[in-house]
Structure 1
Amino acid sequence: MRNTKLSSPNMRKTTLILILGALVPLAYTYCYQTLRELKVIRGSNGEFRTDDGAQEPCQDTVDKDWHPVGATWTNSRCEDCSCSTSGMWCCDRMGRPVGYGPDCMVLFDWEACSFDVVKKNDRTIHCEHGKVGK
C-alpha cells in the first residue's frame, strides 16, 4: 500500500509553508507592520473616492525619519525596516540576550547593533548567556 500523506503537490507545498513560517520567529526577536490608512476623499464632482496613499513615504516610528516607497534602512533601535505600497515593516536585527546571571549586565552597542554580557563588577569578564532572535 502506497503512503499518500505527503505525496500530493498541495500537501508538500502546505508542509513547506508551515515549516518556513515556523522558522521566521527564530530569525527575528520581533517584527511589526504599520499599514497605510485608507482615506475617503470627496471629489470636485461631489463623488467619493478612496486614496490608499500607496506612493506616500513611510515615517519610521522610532526615529521619525521619512523614507520613500522601496527604501530599506536600519533605525537607531537596530530594526531592519522597509517601506512598501502597503506600509512599513520592521524586524529586530540583533536579538536579545537571555539566561545570564544576576551578577551580569548587558552592554548594548546601538551603533554596531550588537551587545555583550559582562560581569557587573568587572566588565572585562564575559558571562555565559543565550540569545533570542537573530
Structure 2
Amino acid sequence: MANVYSERCPAREVLDRIADRWTVLVLGALADGPLRYGELRRRVEGVSEKMLTQTLRSLERDGLVVRHADEETPPAVDYALTELGASLEAPMAAVRGWAEQRIVEVQEAREAYDDRQGLPDLSA
C-alpha cells in the first residue's frame, strides 16, 4: 500500500504533480470541457508557453489529460480530462475555492509575520 510519508513511495511523484500550481489551474480550466492550446493559455493567465507545454505533457503522461489532434492542416489539437483526471476535479475545486475564500486571512498572516520579523512590506 502506498504511503506518501515514506521516502521511496512512488505516490510522492503524483502528489508533486497534483500540488503544482499550473496543474491545479489547467485541470480546473479543462473541467468545463476540452480546450485548444491557445484557449487554455488564455484561460490560465500568466502561464508561459513552455510551462503550459510541460504541464500538459506531464498530465498526459500521468493519464490525467488526453491530447486529440484532428487531421487538418494546420492540425487542431484539443486537450481534455480523462476519467482519471476528472476524478480530481472535486478535490482540486475545493483547494481553489479555499485559496479564493481565505486569501485575505493569508495575506494578513504574512503581514503580521513580516512585521514580527522586521521585514519590509513587499505587498506594494
Normalising by structure 2, we get a TM-score of 0.24
Higher strand share: 1
Q: TM-score, normalised by structure 1?
A: 0.23
More helix by share: 2
